[in-house]
Amino acid sequence: MSNRFHFRVSRRDALSFGLAAGAGTALSMRRPVWAATTAPTQLPLITKAIPATGEKLPAVGLGTDQFRTSERDAIQAEIQRLQQLGGTVIDTAAAYGDSESLIGDALAALNIRDRMFIATKLAANEAGPSGRGGKESFDRSLARLKTQTIDLLQVHNLEGVEVLMPLLQQWKQAGKIRYIGITTSRVGQHNHMVEYMREYPLDFVQVDYSLANRDAAMNVLPLASERRVAVLANVPFGFGSVLRQAQTRQLPDWAADIDVTSWGQFLLKYVISHPAVTCAIPGSTKVAHLEDNQHAARGRLPDESMRRKMEQFWDAG
């Protein structure tokens, strides 16, 4: 399955991406460094391997917590843009209102289900002592997403892990899901997550990690490297508040050294340059934001010394 994703981008896409990118950089009040020289889609796409299989994923995906039916057309346009720009990973959940249905409709209308990597989550609290609610949640997700197979099925917020894990393993063996994961977005759950990582054969964890919230780097991320577990990094913008805080400051000139032209890209490049992180999943409901975020999946990644510089710059703010 590792070569089923196609990252072809047409010249028209590349040109329109270049124009849109110019708009995105208004966030940082800076001119895009590559505007006159390198079209962004000519910069190499950054991919990371899923340790369990070696399958490569583009390092920036899309979070869909805020998808609403009232924005159906915008959502389809956003998913189409993601695919055109080389992104594949879409993270949703049974608990995210209409998100799964909107994604399923868009993938069907665009006929791109096979090109995308779909991650969803079982409804928290629904498992019940027998796990029957977990099966109902999974069946509903398959129907809403209009698919026979989920790439990554996760236990939401660590709720019901013990009950759901045998079911997840059965579904994986039956080929209904490709990878198994667990999620949190709260530092207070990290120790608990670490215990589950030691106990169960997980392919993925999903955890909160950002330049302003580095707790996961203390325990979850090192253990993920050690146990060869892939990592989706959620809330990379601190639910938007970290980005808003960042935007009150001038982006440093040296951000150009890692092909960064906006604060969104700065924050994402920090997250995806952690060796344990496989893919960051910033949430966005606007195409311009998605395009800005997809820039972070291209070009140079910060090395260790650049990562320290980014931390010091952030901490001094």
Ligand X SMILES: NC(=O)c1ccc[n+]([C@@H]2O[C@H](COP(=O)([O-])OP(=O)(O)OC[C@H]3O[C@@H](n4cnc5c(N)ncnc54)[C@H](OP(=O)(O)O)[C@@H]3O)[C@@H](O)[C@H]2O)c1
Q: List contacts with ligand X (CB under 6 A).
A: 27, 63-66, 91, 121, 156-157, 183-185, 206, 234-240, 243, 264, 281-286, 289, 292-293
Closest-CA residue to 148 (of 122, 168, 175) = 175
Which CB atom, from 65 or from 203, has the smaller least distance to ligand X? 65
Nearest-CB residue for ligand X? 283
To ligand X, the closest distance from the beta carbon of 235 in angstroms equals: 4
Which CB atom, from 121 or from 135, has the smaller least distance to ligand X? 121
Which CB atom, from 111 or from 220, has the smaller least distance to ligand X? 220
Which CB atom, from 167 or from 296, has the smaller least distance to ligand X? 296
To ligand X, the closest distance from the beta carbon of 293 in angstroms equals: 5
Note whether 131 and 166 are within 8 A (CB): yes
Which CB atom, from 48 or from 289, has the smaller least distance to ligand X? 289
Query: What are 152's strand-pairing partners?
Result: 119, 179
Residue whose tokens read 């710059």: 313
At 47 the three-state DSSP class reads strand
First-residue to last-residue Cα distance in the chain: 44
d(CA 66, CA 78): 13
To ligand X, the closest distance from the beta carbon of 174 in angstroms equals: 24
Q: Taken in order 224, 86, 93, 141, is the CA torsion positive or negative?
A: negative
To ligand X, the closest distance from the beta carbon of 138 in angstroms equals: 16
> For residue 67, what are the CA distances in angstroms to 75, 95, 102?
7, 12, 8
Buried b (16+ CB within 10 A) or exposed e, 204-223: bbbbbbbbbbbbbeeebbeb
User: What is the full DSSP assignment across 23-43?
Assistant: HHGGGGTS--TTTTS--GGGS
To ligand X, the closest distance from the beta carbon of 97 in angstroms equals: 12
Which CB atom, from 173 or from 267, has the smaller least distance to ligand X? 267
To ligand X, the closest distance from the beta carbon of 123 in angstroms equals: 12
Which CB atom, from 27 or from 168, has the smaller least distance to ligand X? 27
To ligand X, the closest distance from the beta carbon of 3 in angstroms equals: 26
